[in-house]
Every structure is written in C-alpha cells, then in structure tokens.
Structure 1
Amino acid sequence: MTFGERLRGLREERGISLAELARATSYSKSYLSRVETGRRPGNAALAAACARALGVDPDRLGPPDAPGTGVAAPGNTVAAGAAAPPPPAVPVQLPPAPGVFAGREAALAELDGALSSARPRWGEGGPRVWVIDGMGGIGKTALAVRWAHRARDRFPDGVLFSDLAGHGSAGAPREPGEVLDGFLRALGTDTGLIPPGVADRSALLRTLLAGRRVLLVLDNAAAPAQVRPLLPGAPGCVVLVTSRTRMAGLVVRDGARRVTLDPLPEEQAVELLRRTLGPERVDADPAAARELVRRCGRLPLALLVAAERALSRPGLTLTRVNEELRSDRTRLHVLAAAADGDSALRVVFSWSYRALAPEPARAFRLLALHPGAALTAESAAALLGTTAGNAGELLDVLADVHLLELEAPERFRFHSLLQVYGRELAEGQDPPRDRAAALDRLYDWYRQGADAAGRLLEPGARPAGAAPLPGVRPPVFAGVPDAVAWCEAHLADLLSVIRYAALAGRPPAAWQLPFALWSFFHRRHHRAEWLNAARIAVAAAADSPDPRALTVSLVLLGTAQVHAGRPVEAEIHLRRGLERCAADRGDPESECAARNHLAELMLRQGRAAEALELLEPALPLGRTIGHRWAERVTLTNLGDASLRLGRLADAERLLLEALSLRPTGTDHRTEGLALLHLGTVHRALGRLPRAVGCLRRALELHRAAGDRWAQGRTLEQLGHAFAALERPADALPLWQEALDLMTETGDPRAATLTAQLAGVRGGRELPPPGAPGLRRWRGSAPGRG
C-alpha cells in the first residue's frame, strides 16, 4: 500500500474530510488530493503534520514513498539496527514528473538513443546540448521533465533545473547571472566565493562541472545568448533546453540537436484524454472524444484544461462540452484552425475562467498582473487588497481548475500563457485605476518587507518609503534569519518587480526597492543582482520628483561597485552623490553614507589620509541626524583610518567612543570591526592581554554575523598577539585558519600571510612585538570591507 493510500484510509476511518485535513495541516486541499491519488509524492514534513492532525502514531502512516516507487517491494527492508546510508550530496532540482502523460514515443526514443550503453559517458562522440522546441502549449516542459526523470540514474552527480522565463511574461527573461548564482549555490559554492560578473560565474560553473556527470534542464529559454553562459565544458554533462524558438544559433554554433514537437497524433491525444478523464467516460462516446481532440488542436495543455472542465462536472458528457464550444463561432474558428498557439489556448483557458464565481474571476485577472510568476497567500493578498487567509482560499480555487499551478505547499505559479491571458482579461474588464492600485499595493508590500529586513540587518537604517498603503499588511520577521530567508525566497520576484516598475514608468518602486535591499545584497554577496538593481534605480531616479531619489541611488550604485571590485566606477558615482548632497544641503543621511562608503573605498586602496579628511565632516552629520548606528559606523571608520596612519592615541579614543554607543538592535558587524581595530591598537602598544581579549570578542561577533572576511582578518591579528606573547603553538593554528578564510574570500592579505607562515615553519623567528611589528602590518590594517 502506498503512502497516499494509507493516508486516505486513516482519514476516512476517522471521518475527516479532505478540506478539514487541509485546514489542520496548513497544506492545500488540492495538494493533499494529489498525494492521496499518487499524483504527488509525500514527504516527511507532510507525514508528521498529517499524523498530528489525525491523532495517530506516525508509524501508522509509515514513511513517504521513495520517488518513482509505489508499494515497497519485498526484500528491500533494512536490517534491524542497521542505518541506511546517507543520500548523495548532489543537487536534484527537477520538479515532479507530469501527473498525466501520453505519446511522444518518438521524441523519447530519440533522447533515449543518446543513452546507449555503447557510450560510457553520454556526450562523448555526440551532442551535449539538446533543444526541445515547438509552439506554446505543445508540451515541451512535460517532455523534458518526463525524460529527465527517466534518465536521472545516468547522472550520478545531480540534476540542475531553471525556468528562464523567456516567453509569455511581461517581465524580462531571467538574466544568466541570476541563474548561474542559483546553480553555483546548489553545487555547494559559498556565497562569498561567487564572482559578480557573468563571465566569471560561467567559468566557475564549468570548473565545478569538469569531470562530473550532471544534467542541466533549462526551461523556456528566450534566445541562445541567454543559454550560452550556462553551458558546461565537460563532455560528461548534458544540457536540455526547451524554447518556443528554434534556437538556430545553438544548433549552428554549439552543435545542439533539435527535437521539434508537433501536435499529438489523434490517437495519442485521445489516449491523453482517457488517462485524464478515465477510460469509461471517453470510451462511452469515442466520436465526441475525437471531436474534442480536433477542437483543441491536439495540443496537450489545451486537452488537459478541457478535461479539467469535464472533471469538475461529473455529469457533463463530452458531447455537451463540444456543444459549449459551438456556441461561440468566432472562438471556435480560432480554436479549430489557428496556427498561433496563443490564440488557440485563449479559447480553452476561457472555459475554466467562465466557470469561476465573480470573486475568484477577479482574483485571476489581478493576480496575473504580478510582474513575476510565483505567488504566496501574502503577496496575493497585497494585489487583491484582502487578507492572506482569503487570498489563500482564492489561490486554492484557481489551482483546482488549473488556472494556477501548485509549485510547492502554499506556493503557486502561473503558466506563462495563462498569465498573458489573465492580463488581457484584466485590461479589458478592470478599470485602469483598479489595476494601478493593485500594482501599487504589490510594490508597497515588497518594499515594506525589504525595509523591515534591512532594519534588522543594519539597525538604524532609514526606511525607503512611507507607511504602508491601505490594504497592505507588511511581512513581519522574527529575527535576522527569518528576514534573510524571506529575501532569498522572493529574490527572483523582487528583481522582476524592480525591472517591471522601471519599464512601466513607476520611479518610486524602481529606486526604493533596490535601496531597501542594499544590506541584504551586501550580507548575502548578491553582487551582480545588486549592481543590476542599482543601475535600474539610478535610471529611474532621474525621472523621480523626489529630490533624494537620485542621490541615494548614486550612493547605492557606488557602494555596489565598491564590493564588486570596480573602484574607478565606484568613486565616480560616490563623488557624484556627494556633490549632489553638497549642492542641496537637504539630505544629511545620504551625505553621511556617501562619505563613509567613499572612505571605505579609499581605505581599501591605502589612501588613509584622504579617507580621514573625508570622514571628519561625516561625524557631525551622523550626530545631527540622530542615528547612533550611522555615528558608530563613522567613528569606526575614523578609528581605522587613524590606525593606518599610526595615530594610535586618536584611533583608541575614536574606537572606544564607537563601542560606547548602543544603537537600537544588534549590530555584530560594526561592533566586531571596532573591536578588531581596537585589539590591533592594543597589540601595537604592547598591551597584549587586552589585545587578546578584544580580538577574541571580535571573532565571536564576526562568527555570529557570518562575516568570513572579517573572521580571517581577526584571526590574523589574534595570531600576532599570541606570537608577541611568545606562544607560537597558539599562533600557528590561528594563522592557518586565517589563511584558509582569506583564500576563500579573495583577501589580498593571503599572499603575505602565506609567506609569513612559510618563514615561521622554515625556522625563522616570529615577528617581534612593538614598533617594528607596527611597520610590518600598518599598510594593510583591517578595513571595514
């Protein structure tokens, strides 16, 4: 008995309806139904939630079925007391296989031919890029995912999957850099090691895939240029691309093989209906079934939507479904003879839409305005101006009739063509003011969430905009991890909203959202995304009536370029921002920020005297605006600059003052940097026990903040302190750990520390304490970074 069958049996035994179980477990009714019927796999979290709701021991439900299995085969049990081996640490990003699939034997056989046992490594001697192309709704994704599941065991190093959003959405296709970022993280790359540029990310992906056998499924590609940076160089890897274009460039230049899909042959289309509706219903009127197949243009997606219409009304015959089609001659003509897949599908989509009650029909139209594709109850509530509970119920209704797809529990996604159809309906039926208000609420919901996350990540940071609009319930976070998780989960949609706002001529959203996200971009090393968002912000801010828009956007772009390793561009934009502050004299917060970020750039370049001169006016600005966090950052940077110039008394005074300030919330990063610099001052002055105390506390704070760059610098200085105490056994492991972190984060100090460690291990003396040591490290004292 499968997991789903056991779940249904226990539920019915206790007299609990599927709707009641859905409310008790916080899973949607449609998702639970698919699990019970075997169309979706269960998981451990679902099993635990259902056991609690049903009041049974989890053993009664048993473990969820393994992917691709039904009833457990005899002889496959694990011996008592034996531990099952851990699963391999490889990415498996494939979405579930299609619940209903028919036909495509020739296409599957062509793909299977590449898996011949005569080829020990698929891709050697044959194409390593395959393109599945065809019209919208033809079933490209279903074929790709179906075959990928069949071939999964031939790729022991994993499967990577990404929807490139190439067609159907009003937003721009996904940037290759965003996709590469996700792939590199899935392959285990530390966030701090992901380079900002697309070319460098592409090279790193090829390096990681060299010698490995990985399948990459790139769904819904727009053009060859979007795909090329994602191609591995190793022959053991294979790329499967789906697109509504023929991708001729990939065929000509990259040796791709094309598999073009046509509409299903009639018998296979009828078989798809039989598997969806059940053989009894189709075989009862085979002539009506064949007529329905013809009217759907033999398109799989159109057939599935039509079948769902029939399934929703068990007494509805296929003859009656065909009669409903005949009632609209214009639409019948488009459906029967249109060469354009979009036109054919609009008619089929309208069947499900016309069956909706007024409230879910309005929800379908307004939800389709979302610039991205993913929807949660909270983001849907913002668009609709309702509560999250009501929005969740509406999402379930739309998912039940396949106007939305259930991507994961409580997370829904539009099919791109359905989203286009919904937008057309909204433009024809909803007044412009209603559509604009819905988008304004959505923009505001994302901004409020980004603002709240930013204030947790950087206490004292000012909000990007005003109070929430009426009808907007901002996200609430329990702490920093919760805020970071929200930003990561919504990152793709946040970027889509920023791009769409700029294209739609909505400057506030286009510059306020990037400004609100800057601390998240910085903390999580999303450098390419930060740069792209900041560039959009600057362009949009130029058209904004808000006088501070362009100033803060220039500072944002300059700061992004500092951390992306583009110092020349960074200085240009930061100085432009500073010039605007000097001219307006109306934005002390932006001026303080510009001075600090420009000073950080100078400190990185060894221009400590210039940094000090730039920072001195920033301190009264920080005090004027009343943000202790800004004042503390300025004091810490002033202390760093004084330390680099050898003004140890000034550095100590400034750093102690910085540490005496207590801004609202926790700020491990700035406090840790101040202690790092203060510990370095104590070491230079021969106060070695105090230096050790400061540096140990700084290390704790940097570890709590997850700042690996600062951890490396702190470990290096702590090693120096122990060396000066003539405790080389304590110093050497600290330096080795520091070297590992510096190498990982690309810190230029790694080369110096490598040479120093080699000298110590070669028998030369440790660096002496005092002034000679000061000269040794003064030129590279830790900066804010």
Structure 2
Amino acid sequence: MAEFVALLRRLKEDSGYTYRQLEMRAARRGDVLARSTIADTLRRDSLPRADTLIAFVRACAPAQDIRAWLAARNRLAAATTPALDIGGASAATPVPRQLPAPPALFIGRTDELRLLDAAVGQPDPPSRTVLISAVGGAGGIGKTSLVLRWAHMHADQFPDGQLYADLRGFGPDLTPVPATVTLRGFLQALGVPPASVPHPVDAQAALFRSLVATRRMLVLLDNVRDTDHVIPLLPGSPTCTVLVTSRHQLRGLTVTHGARTLTLDRLSEAEARELLAAHLGQARALQHRSALDALVRHCGGLPLALAIVAARAATHPDHPLDGLVRDLRDTTVRLDALTTGELRADLRSVFSWSCRALSPPAGKVFDLLGLVPVVDISLPAVASLTATSTQRAQELLRELEDTSLVRQHAPGRFRMHDLVHLYSAQRGRTQQGGEDREAVRRLVDFYLHTACAADRLLDPRRPPLVLGEPAPGCTPVALTDASMAMSWFDAEHERMLESQRLAMQRLWYPQVWQLARTLVTFHARRRQVTDQMAVWHMGLTAAEQGGLTSARAMAHRYLGQAHSQNGERDEGLRHLRLAVDRAREAGDAAELARGHYALAVAADHAGDPRQSLVHALQALAEFQDLADTVEVARVLNAIGWACAQLERNEEAQDSCMRALTLFRQQGHPDGEADTLHSLGLIAHNTGQQHAALAYYRQALAVYHDVGNTRGEADCLDSLGGLHESLGQNREAHDAWQQLVVLLRAQGRAAEALQVVQRLRLLPL
C-alpha cells in the first residue's frame, strides 16, 4: 500500500502541477478533487477512495490507463479491507440491460426514427463529449414509446450495456427522483457495492463518468423535469449515447451540451387509425369502421388518448363502439371519457402534471387560452387577452412552450393540441372566476380595432366605423400599409370569425356587426363569398336583436350581394330590396344609395342590363347629392358596363373614363382596376383588341399590387378570352393556367374545372 501511494506521489511530481492546479484541472473535467484531499492522500499510506483516485490520475496524466490504476487499488483493497472493493471497475464489470420492454404496438414515427438514426450515426466533433438526443413533446404524445422502440432496434450498437431511469419529472409524485438516487442505481448496476458508493452527488457523478469512460453504452433518461435534473447523469465519454425524454424543451441542454432536439407532434390521421385498429383488432375495426373514424378524430392523434379508448373498448369486446363515440363527441365530458380510472391512464391527470410545473402567471395564461374557441393565436393577441405587454406575454408563452403545453408552429404564432385546449377551457372555468368576461372583451376588441385599422388601409375612402375605446389592457396591432393589412387579414381571418362568434355569445351586438363590416374589403378581394354570408347573417341577427336599423340595412345589402355572387339570385334580390326598405325606414340616404347600386350589380349578374342601368342611374343621383366621390365613381363604372351590354358603346366609354379619372384622383386602386377591366371589356367588344389588351394588363398590375385575387381571377379570364380570339393560344393558355391556380386557392373548384376543360380544348 505504501508503494502504491509512493507511485501516486511520483505521478504528481512528474506532472509538475501544484495542488491548486490539479484541483482546477479536475474541475474542468467535471471531477471533484479538493487540494486538502490530494495532500491527505499523498501524506498517508492508505488507499484513496476510488473516485479520488480517478480524479487524481486524470488530472495528473490524462493518458494514463485509469482501469489499471483502479485494478491495482482494488487488489490491495481486497487483501486488506474487502468492503472497499468497487468491483464495478474490475475486469468482471457487469453489463447492465435495463431497458424496459418495447411498446407492444408501435405505428408510424418513421421520420422521427430516421432522425434519431442520423443523430447517433453521425461522427462526433472532437469538441463534443457525448451524443445526446432530447425528445420532447406534450404529455401522452408517445416520447417514451419512441425512444424505447429506437433503443431496442439498436441495442446491438451498445455492447457494454444500456442504463435506464424514469426520473418522474412529470407525474403523480410531487417531486422528481433526485439525481443521487438515479446515480446510486447506475453505479450499483455497474458493479459498485452499495457501501462503496460515495455520498455527495458530485462524487457519484464523477465515479459514474469514470466507470463508463471508453465504454459503448446507451443511457436512457426518461421523463426528465429540466436541464438541471439531467446534467449530473450525463457520461463524459464520446463512446456513450444518451437519450432524454421530457415535456420540457431542455434548451439549456442544447446550449451547454450540444444536445440534438426532436419534438414530437400528433400522429397523422392515417397513423392514428392504424394504431387504434391494431389495439382493437382488425376484425373489430373493420366491423365498426365509421365509429373507428369518429374515435380517431376525437382523439386528435394523441397516442395516449387512442390507447385509453382501446383499453375502454377492450373491457367490453362484444359491445359496439357507438357508446364510446357518443361519450367523446360531447366536448363537455370528453376528458371524463378519456380515462381508465388509473392516474397514468387519465388524460386530465396527465395534463395536470404539466400545469403543476408552471409559475402562477403562466398558469393563468394557460387558463385564459381556454377561452379562445380554437387555439391558433398570435403573440399580440395573447398580450391583449392577458392584459400584459408583448414582451411579458412572450416570456409566459415560452414557459408554456417549454412544458409542451403550446407549440410555436410559426414565428409569433402559438397552437395548442385540441385535448390540451379542452383541458385548459375546463380548468379555466374553475380558476378564472369573473375575469373571463374582461379577458374575452379585450380579445374581441383586439381583433375589432386592429381589423378596423387594417380595413381603413385597404379602402381609406370608405366611411369609417365609429368605435369606442378598446377595453383597458387591449393593445391593437399598429399596421402601417395596405400590404401589411392584407397579410394580417390572411393570418387572422379564422380568428376574426371566432371573435364574432364570441361577441355574439356574450350579446355584444354592436361588435358583432362591426366585425362583419371590417371584413368586407378583404372578403371582396379574396372572393370569400361563403364567409361573407356567414358573418353578415350573424351581423343581421345582432342588428335585429340590438334594434340597430341602419346596421340592419347594411347587413341585408351585404347579404344580398353575397347571395347574388353565389348564384342565388332570388335570395339576393330579397335581401337587397329589404336593404332599401330598411334604409328608408332609418332615413339613411347613403345606405339607400348603396342599396340601389347593389341592385344594379345584381341585375347585371342576372343578365338584365336595362334594369341594372335604372338602379345605377338612381344610385348616381343619390351619391351626387351626398357628394361621395368614390361612390360616384363606382356607379359610373357600373353605368358604363350596363351601357356596353346595351351596345351604347360611346356612353359606356365616356362613363368609364370619368370613373377612372375619379378613382385615380381619390387614390382608390380597387376601383381603378375594376374600371380598367371594364374599359378592356368595352374595347374588346368594339373590336379594339390592342387597346383591350393594354387595359387588361394595367388592371392586372393594379389588382396584383393590392392583393385583390378576386379581381385578378376575373381579369385573367377576360385576358385569356382575348388572346384566344386573336389566335394567341400560348398566351391564352398561360393566362388561364394562372386563373386555375387562383380559382383553386379561392375554393372555386367547379369554376377551376371549367377552365381546365377549356385548356384541354385549346390547341397549342
């Protein structure tokens, strides 16, 4: 033993390092080696502890064979004090095989398995110490199943063993498994007798790293709470691979240890159907195919939900699945149905474990998100919903994202799984008290005031909506130009529809029809007729129940226009006549004039240019009395087109040119483009093909600049027809091909098919 310690002294002398330098070198490697420990070890003729020996040799001479030193120490220990033998460092080191059984049923996840293959298979840079892959995702998304599947598929790549620990970072236990408990289990699995396991966690971690150094091992750390929870358990050898699962994003692990991250999302509908069918058995799945499809939809691609449904179905194998479908169809009891009576197979409990990790402010945000009908929400909207600054909202959303309760699926946009959102809504109803009304009002005002400002940018000449002040805590988005306004509408259109429904549920009638009004220009440019009808049917109901006569006239007018555009002539005329009647009742001259203009357009669509001209001339007189220049220009364009249909081409040309001048003076690009299109049609009908071509091209350019895809589609249709009449089939083909793309984007599949058929008949 004295000779052994003498060799240690010589090792220290040969290194040339002081006690302080050795302490610092050990610390840089992650080892614990105090100066006093070194001095005490070299002063006495007694064996050092195994972890002290490992740290000392690595600090003095990293190239030395640690195993040889440990073997020599163990031989001495066996001859003197056998209780100190840490047999795990000897040649008889056991090979642990701790992996739990792989999932009995595993469907899909081929891309994710391939990503894990790539992460482990790539050669590691010299600067890295260990391959770490962190798999994240919401509770019940299948993280453990994925890593166990991969681990068993590749077990032969780790001949020195596989270690596994469930750290219980999220679960029924209030506290996770401490690192010391996990390390003690790993050390004992590696052959270290319990009496020889050091007590401090740093010493345990150092001994663990030493024992697995140079060994090809897999360490699977399941259900980790956060980065600090996992760091003591990481090997230091590039020969080891670590798989970590957590609901937490573990960004710190990526920053400090270069971990590769993989976040799981829901299964595809096809994968979910296949998984549920595998659980139920193919015969039963085929027998109840429609019920199976309904169950898949209600489970939202969440593997745990599918497994719970299968477990419930298995208790009554002879029963039809319709009862389960009924339980899940009702959202008020869906989470009650997604349980087997055990905590780990109870979806509400599984979600609650994630919420337990939230700070109180983040928990409040989670509850408020349950008030939103469908969670796909922007950062500014969350700021208004929660009455916080954008920066603070971002911090709280990041906390929700870190625990996989929301996902940032696009920059600044956050989405919640359907079942998590359902849990949020139910939890919020018990937690928020009276705060939900104020929060919903802030959210509705956010969309209303932002949309009103956006609509003004799209059509600044339209009479503005008069809104009250937004609710305290609401901060609308500041938009600066028409392009930004269109982009905002594109991103938030579905949220606008949801906000209108929220306002209707709360009986906020003015906000209901005002939200519909802010969408008019956007719906016209995108030709979203169905949505236009939907928002104005609700707007009409709100106006009637709120006793708002002028708003009733407006609602009837927009409904009449939408029904007419949708080919429902009789319903369109009914609403337009009611619009004129309600405008007279209200004494609203401007709305009365707009009603006559709408009747002129409807008559034109019905192929009645004479009636169209009658209404247009009446509207012109009324708008001239009101000195509304933009509306005068709009009606002049309608008059010009009606005259063209009646072959009064000189009047048509004159009226449209007057309209074009007024639109340009007023800076109204939509009206300018519509009039250029009309002039093109007039020129085409009168044999002025080159002039028509020039007008169409100008109109297309303006439509494109303002993002008016409805106008682009109509103009491309006309342009293609002109090219065809000139024998320019290639140019006609290009125009109609662009038209097909736009029609499909606007959901006009039948019209797109008609154009495709024309393309097939067009010789090239």
- TM-score, normalised relative to structure 1: 0.51
| 1:369 matches 2:371 | yes
- Cα shift at 1:406: 4.0
The answer for the alignment partner of 2:515 in structure 1 is: 513
Structure 1 residues 423 and 694: CA distance shift in structure 2, 3 A: closer
Structure 1 residues 716 and 624: CA distance shift in structure 2, 3 A: farther
CA distance in 2, matches of 1:615, 1:571: 15
Matching residue's letter, 2:565: H
Aligned pairs for 1:679-694 within 5 A:
679-682=680-683, 691=692, 693-694=694-695
Does the Cα contact within 8 Å between 1:498 and 1:513 map onto a contact in 2?
yes
Q: In structure 1, list runs of 5 or more residues that go unmatched.
A: 1-12, 14-63, 76-93, 107-136, 138-214, 221-237, 262-268, 273-295, 301-333, 763-785
Deviates more, 1:520-529 or 1:623-632: 623-632
CA distance in 1, matches of 2:408, 2:295: 28
Deviates more, 1:460-469 or 1:546-555: 460-469
| 1:569 matches 2:571 | yes
CA distance in 1, matches of 2:642, 2:753: 18
CA distance in 1, matches of 2:602, 2:350: 58
Match of 2:145, SS?
Answer: coil
- Cα shift at 1:363: 2.8
The answer for the alignment partner of 1:102 in structure 2 is: 145
Q: 1:710 aligns with which of 710, 714, 722?
A: 714
The answer for the alignment partner of 1:494 in structure 2 is: 496
Matching residue's letter, 2:702: L
Identity of aligned residues (%): 24
Does the Cα contact within 8 Å between 2:140 and 2:350 map onto a contact in 1?
no
The answer for the alignment partner of 1:48 in structure 2 is: none
Structure with greater contact order relative to length (CA < 8 Å, sep ≥ 6): 1
- Cα shift at 1:378: 0.5
Does the Cα contact within 8 Å between 2:516 and 2:535 map onto a contact in 1?
yes
Structure 1 residues 738 and 493: CA distance shift in structure 2, 3 A: closer
The answer for the alignment partner of 1:32 in structure 2 is: none
The answer for the alignment partner of 2:605 in structure 1 is: 604
Matching residue's letter, 1:533: V
The answer for the alignment partner of 1:556 in structure 2 is: 558
Matching residue's letter, 1:399: E
* Cα displacement string for residues 702-735 of structure 1 (whole angstroms, at most 9, x for unaligned residues): 4544434332354257559xx7xxxx56x55555
Does the Cα contact within 8 Å between 1:652 and 1:681 map onto a contact in 2?
yes
The answer for the alignment partner of 1:651 in structure 2 is: 652
Structure 1 residues 568 and 396: CA distance shift in structure 2, 3 A: same
- Cα shift at 1:466: 0.9
- Cα shift at 1:577: 1.5
Does the Cα contact within 8 Å between 2:523 and 2:529 map onto a contact in 1?
yes
Backbone CA RMSD of aligned residues: 5.1
Structure 1 residues 347 and 465: CA distance shift in structure 2, 3 A: farther
- Cα shift at 1:609: 0.9
CA distance in 2, matches of 1:467, 1:358: 33
- Cα shift at 1:644: 1.2
The answer for the alignment partner of 2:674 in structure 1 is: 673
The structure having more radius of gyration, on CA atoms, is: 2
- Cα shift at 1:217: 1.8
Match of 1:472, SS?
Answer: coil
Structure 1 residues 343 and 473: CA distance shift in structure 2, 3 A: farther
* Cα displacement string for residues 722-775 of structure 1 (whole angstroms, at most 9, x for unaligned residues): x7xxxx56x555555566567775679989x979x98xx99xxxxxxxxxxxxx
CA distance in 1, matches of 2:715, 2:399: 50
Does the Cα contact within 8 Å between 1:679 and 1:690 map onto a contact in 2?
yes
Matching residue's letter, 1:559: Q
CA distance in 2, matches of 1:240, 1:464: 53
* Cα displacement string for residues 345-375 of structure 1 (whole angstroms, at most 9, x for unaligned residues): 5566556656655433433333322222123
Structure 1 residues 548 and 339: CA distance shift in structure 2, 3 A: farther
| 1:535 matches 2:537 | yes
Structure 1 residues 673 and 100: CA distance shift in structure 2, 3 A: same
* Cα displacement string for residues 411-468 of structure 1 (whole angstroms, at most 9, x for unaligned residues): 3233445444544554445453x32222111111112233233334444334455155
CA distance in 2, matches of 1:335, 1:737: 55
Structure 1 residues 635 and 72: CA distance shift in structure 2, 3 A: farther
Alignment length, in residue pairs? Answer: 476
Aligned pairs for 1:8-27 within 5 A:
none
Match of 2:269, SS?
Answer: strand
- TM-score, normalised relative to structure 2: 0.52
Match of 2:119, SS?
Answer: coil
* Cα displacement string for residues 110-141 of structure 1 (whole angstroms, at most 9, x for unaligned residues): xxxxxxxxxxxxxxxxxxxxxxxxxxx9xxxx
CA distance in 1, matches of 2:284, 2:486: 39
Does the Cα contact within 8 Å between 1:459 and 1:629 map onto a contact in 2?
no
CA distance in 2, matches of 1:507, 1:566: 27
Aligned pairs for 1:67-466 within 5 A:
69-71=117-119, 98=141, 100-102=143-145, 217=269, 339=341, 353=355, 356-424=358-426, 426-432=428-434, 434-464=435-465, 466=467
Match of 1:71, SS?
Answer: helix
CA distance in 2, matches of 1:356, 1:424: 17
Matching residue's letter, 1:387: S
* Cα displacement string for residues 258-299 of structure 1 (whole angstroms, at most 9, x for unaligned residues): 7989xxxxxxx9xx9xxxxxxxxxxxxxxxxxxxxxxx9x98
Match of 1:412, SS?
Answer: strand
- Cα shift at 1:604: 1.7
Deviates more, 1:564-573 or 1:397-406: 397-406
Does the Cα contact within 8 Å between 2:677 and 2:715 map onto a contact in 1?
no
CA distance in 1, matches of 2:665, 2:442: 29
The answer for the alignment partner of 1:613 in structure 2 is: 614
Deviates more, 1:512-521 or 1:689-698: 689-698
Structure 1 residues 411 and 692: CA distance shift in structure 2, 3 A: closer
CA distance in 1, matches of 2:449, 2:365: 22
Match of 1:375, SS?
Answer: strand
Matching residue's letter, 1:586: D
Structure 1 residues 695 and 407: CA distance shift in structure 2, 3 A: closer
* Cα displacement string for residues 548-602 of structure 1 (whole angstroms, at most 9, x for unaligned residues): 33222222222222232222222222221122112222261x3343333332221
CA distance in 1, matches of 2:602, 2:289: 42
CA distance in 2, matches of 1:67, 1:485: 34
Does the Cα contact within 8 Å between 1:743 and 1:750 map onto a contact in 2?
no
- Cα shift at 1:625: 5.2
Does the Cα contact within 8 Å between 1:385 and 1:471 map onto a contact in 2?
yes
Match of 1:490, SS?
Answer: helix
- Cα shift at 1:606: 1.3
The answer for the alignment partner of 2:103 in structure 1 is: none
Does the Cα contact within 8 Å between 1:548 and 1:587 map onto a contact in 2?
no
Does the Cα contact within 8 Å between 2:549 and 2:582 map onto a contact in 1?
no
Match of 2:143, SS?
Answer: coil
CA distance in 2, matches of 1:574, 1:738: 34
- Cα shift at 1:391: 1.2
CA distance in 2, matches of 1:540, 1:241: 44
* Cα displacement string for residues 521-540 of structure 1 (whole angstroms, at most 9, x for unaligned residues): 23224333333333222233
Does the Cα contact within 8 Å between 1:218 and 1:241 map onto a contact in 2?
no
Does the Cα contact within 8 Å between 1:558 and 1:569 map onto a contact in 2?
yes
CA distance in 2, matches of 1:582, 1:562: 22
Structure 1 residues 216 and 674: CA distance shift in structure 2, 3 A: same
Matching residue's letter, 2:715: Q
Structure 1 residues 412 and 735: CA distance shift in structure 2, 3 A: closer
